[in-house]
Structure 1
Amino acid sequence: MAASSRTQVLSLYRLMLKESKNFPAYNYRTYAIRRVRDAFRENKHVEDPKTIQALLVKARENLLLIQRQVRLFSIPTCMAALYLAALNQISGPISCLQTA
């Protein structure tokens, strides 16, 4: 594997693990981390540059999927906070609105 490909793969691997750790639910978080590790280990010995590039494209698509799911997963929590705020007539900013 060329040095630039190795750098890209390691960078993408670290980024996917980092994003997977953002899942609020333990089960989703551990599953995503395990799948990322397993997928990269499974393809550890691939040497063909075209195959590596195809795998990198697929990994980038999966990274976008993880990022999208993490954002979507936090929506019910925010909606629950809004509901409780309206129900209890709490004044002041709600934390989920400040980060969005």
Structure 2
Amino acid sequence: MAATRGEVLRLYKKMLRESISFSNYSYRTYALRRIKDAFRENKGESDPGKIKDLIMYGVHNLEIIKRQVVISQLYKTPELIVEACKKQSNDQKT
């Protein structure tokens, strides 16, 4: 069975949504950047077998992200200055 575009997009959105939950700013931005880069890198892949393997790899990594998010929420660190500045700028825009 060939992977559909919708299946890939759902995986992409799930990974991004889960990565936003990291409590640590550095982990959060790293995860988001890596996910976007990986999907962009494999955007032109047309081999159904390779796409299926990539999806399975993505699902495996999504499970890892979920576990790491739980751990990061157990051991929260203080908010960084960068995060506070971003929140203030977002509040001023609305």
| TM tier, smaller | 0.7 to 0.9
Q: Aligned to 1:39, what secondary structure does the other structure show? A: helix
Q: 1: distance between equivalents of 2:44 and 2:55?
A: 14
Structure 2 spans left out of the alignment, 5+ residues: 77-94
- 2: distance between equivalents of 1:4 and 1:36? 19
* Distance in 2 (alpha carbons) for counterparts of 1:61 and 1:52: 14
How many residues align structurally? 76
Q: Provide the rounded CA distance (Å) in 1 between the counterparts of 2:68 and 2:3.
A: 29
Q: Which runs of 5+ in 1 are unaligned?
A: 78-100
Give me the CA root mean square deviation.
Answer: 1.6
Query: Following superposition of structure 1 onto structure 2, how do residues 46-85 of structure 1 map, counting pairs within 5 Å?
Result: 46-77=45-76
| In 1: Cα distance, 2:67 partner to 2:3 partner | 27
Q: Counterpart of 1:33?
A: 32
Q: Tell me the residue number matched to 1:43.
A: 42
Max radius of gyration: which structure? 1
1:76 offset after TM fit, Å?
Answer: 2.2
Higher RCO (Cα < 8 Å, 6 or more apart) = 2
Q: Would you identify which runs of 4 or more consecutive aligned residues in structure 1 move more than 3 Å? A: none
Structure 1 distance, partners of 2:71, 2:57, is 21
For normalisation by structure 2, the TM-score amounts to 0.76
